[in-house]
Amino acid sequence: MKKRVVIVGSSFAGYSTALNLAKLFEGRHDITVIDKTPEFTFLPSLVWHPFGYRHSEDISFDTRPIYEDHGIEFIQSTVYGFDLEDQLVYTHQEDIPYDYLVLATGTKPNYSSIKGYVPEHHIFSICTMHEAERTRLAWKNFLQNPGPMVIGAAQWSGYFFAAYEFLLNALYHLKEEDLLDQVPIHFITAEPYLTHFGIDGMHKEMKGCEHLFDRYGINWRTNAEIKELKRGKVILSSGEEIESSFSMIIPQYSGIDAVRTTHNLSNFAGLIKVNNEFQHLKYPNIYGAGGSVHIAQEDETRVPCGVPRTRYCTDIMAKTVAYNIAAEILGGSRVSVTNHRLYEYCKQDMDHLSSLLFRNADDQSHDLDFIKKNSSDKWANMSISEYIESSFDHEYLKI
Ligand SMILES: Cc1cc2nc3c(=O)[nH]c(=O)nc-3n(C[C@H](O)[C@H](O)[C@H](O)COP(=O)(O)OP(=O)(O)OC[C@H]3O[C@@H](n4cnc5c(N)ncnc54)[C@H](O)[C@@H]3O)c2cc1C
């Protein structure tokens, strides 16, 4: 009898799981993808948006024609809950039954975890297209009225590299506009050392990064926990108060509400706990991939950092999920990936990024011009067109 796999989320994790499953099923079983939007937005490129290197249409594409070509059903709807016993996904239009469920719902910024973090007011971020657009306007205004600036990543944020990328882009622009001496800069991070990235990361880049920060007069605070954000001020738990006319802070992330509020589905942060095959610990017909999955931090840090679920790491989870569901339905061997290997995949993403950001950072030849040179492509990731192309590549199926 035909089985139905329902995938909620159609970004890196959902898109990749769906296409891989379609190749493995060859039409023998049904695949349904549900997302509130058919547009796949390439989140890593949001960092570039405020600086004018990307427009919304450059960093998103419509997934529907691709799904149609692969015999995958797409339903545009917002999921508001799940019935795990009766195997139903609740949407505002209908209840959708599943035999297998894949949660590829990513994360959402958890602003309320920091007092005063109200994006509509005075703090900027780049977590969503809407916020990146707001930040773009604010940045334009800031260049007209420069003052002290704080860039950083909060406790539990995980995506520290986005803060570094934003900082170097900002530095480049300030340098181009001849404003560097009018902008005292602070970089605040929960990491225990620069370039830790939540994965006890890039020791070899740490000194280069420090030298770069020293050269541009950036005051940095590691092990920093943000206590409160006020208009014109960032307050740390240490009691330090830092003046700021422009603050861009990567917040903490948590699981989406529909997952967080379903009994027995996720942990306190709304993230799903899975085994090495990305199978839910209590419900074996439920799988998770990408941002929605809990990955424990390997090292202990004074301030909790959170672990980034990067694009490559997400892709590996998605392929593993596709293989394992196909193995269960069609027969064949299952695949497992240890936490340690996931860390290695994250490190590969981070290694690529940091070697570009901090290459030659400890000599004077690191002049920030590489930002401009690489702006036509996203240096740390494949461009979006390469990403789409690679998803049709046969080799892509390999883990
Ligand atoms: C600012 C930023 C910069 C980043 N930079 C990099 C980088 O340089 N390199 C890198 O490797 N990684 C980077 N990442 C991480 C990368 O974006 C993630 O690895 C990736 O987005 C995870 O994909 P995902 O599919 O799990 O989740 P997401 O991309 O978050 O997608 C979740 C999907 O679920 C859908 N959804 C959510 N809730 C519902 C609902 N209730 N109903 C229906 N649909 C729903 C959403 O619409 C979305 O399509 C960055 C992340 C951020 C935030």
Q: Span 369-374, mean pLDDT? A: 63
Quick one: what percent of the chain has pLDDT higher than 70? Answer: 89
Separation of CA 38 and ligand 1 centre (Å): 14
Residue nearest to atom 29 of ligand 1 (CA): 11
Separation of CA 104 and ligand 1 centre (Å): 9
Confidence of residue 273 (pLDDT cuts 50, 70, 90): very high
pLDDT tens, residue by residue, 227-251: 999 989 999 999 999 999 999 999 9
Please state the pTM of the whole predicted model. 0.91
CA–CA dist 322, 318 (Å, integer): 6
Q: Span 119-127, mean pLDDT? A: 82
Confidence of residue 124 (pLDDT cuts 50, 70, 90): very high
Separation of CA 143 and ligand 1 centre (Å): 30
pLDDT given for residue 394 in this prediction = 47
Separation of CA 347 and ligand 1 centre (Å): 18
**132: Cβ below 6 Å to ligand 1?**
no
**93: Cβ below 6 Å to ligand 1?**
no
Pocket test for ligand 1, best of 34, 105, 375, 379 (most atoms within 8 A of CB): 105
Separation of CA 182 and ligand 1 centre (Å): 35
Nearest to 275 by CA among 286, 262, 291: 286
**44: Cβ below 6 Å to ligand 1?**
yes
**291: Cβ below 6 Å to ligand 1?**
yes
Residue nearest to atom 44 of ligand 1 (CA): 35
Confidence of residue 129 (pLDDT cuts 50, 70, 90): confident
Q: Given the structure tokens 């599943």, which residue do they identify?
A: 98
Compute how many other C-beta atoms are within 10 angstroms of the C-beta atom of residue 395: 6
State which of 65-79, 124-138, 373-387 shows the largest mean pLDDT.
65-79
**Mean pLDDT across the chain:** 89
Separation of CA 243 and ligand 1 centre (Å): 32
Identify the architecture of domain 113-251+351-376 in CATH: 3-Layer(bba) Sandwich (3.50)
**138: Cβ below 6 Å to ligand 1?**
no
Q: Do 4-109+253-348+382-397 and 113-251+351-376 have matching folds?
A: yes
Q: What is the largest CA-CA distance in the chain?
A: 70
pLDDT given for residue 351 in this prediction = 79
Residue extents of the structural domains in the chain: 4-109+253-348+382-397, 113-251+351-376
Confidence of residue 303 (pLDDT cuts 50, 70, 90): very high
- ∠ CA 66-67-73 to the nearest 5 degrees? 160
**277: Cβ below 6 Å to ligand 1?**
no
Q: Span 213-229, mean pLDDT? A: 95
Identify the architecture of domain 4-109+253-348+382-397 in CATH: 3-Layer(bba) Sandwich (3.50)
Separation of CA 293 and ligand 1 centre (Å): 12
pLDDT given for residue 373 in this prediction = 58
Token reading at 377: 């492509």
Q: Span 366-388, mean pLDDT? A: 56
Residue nearest to atom 28 of ligand 1 (CA): 106
pLDDT given for residue 378 in this prediction = 46
Confidence of residue 310 (pLDDT cuts 50, 70, 90): confident
CA–CA dist 156, 159 (Å, integer): 9
**126: Cβ below 6 Å to ligand 1?**
yes
Separation of CA 132 and ligand 1 centre (Å): 14
pLDDT given for residue 346 in this prediction = 85
DSSP H or E run through 230 = strand 226-230
Q: Is the pLDDT of residue 108 over 90?
A: yes
Using CB atoms within 10 Å of the CB of residue 26, give its burial: 0 to 12 exposed, 13 to 18 middle, 19+ buried. exposed
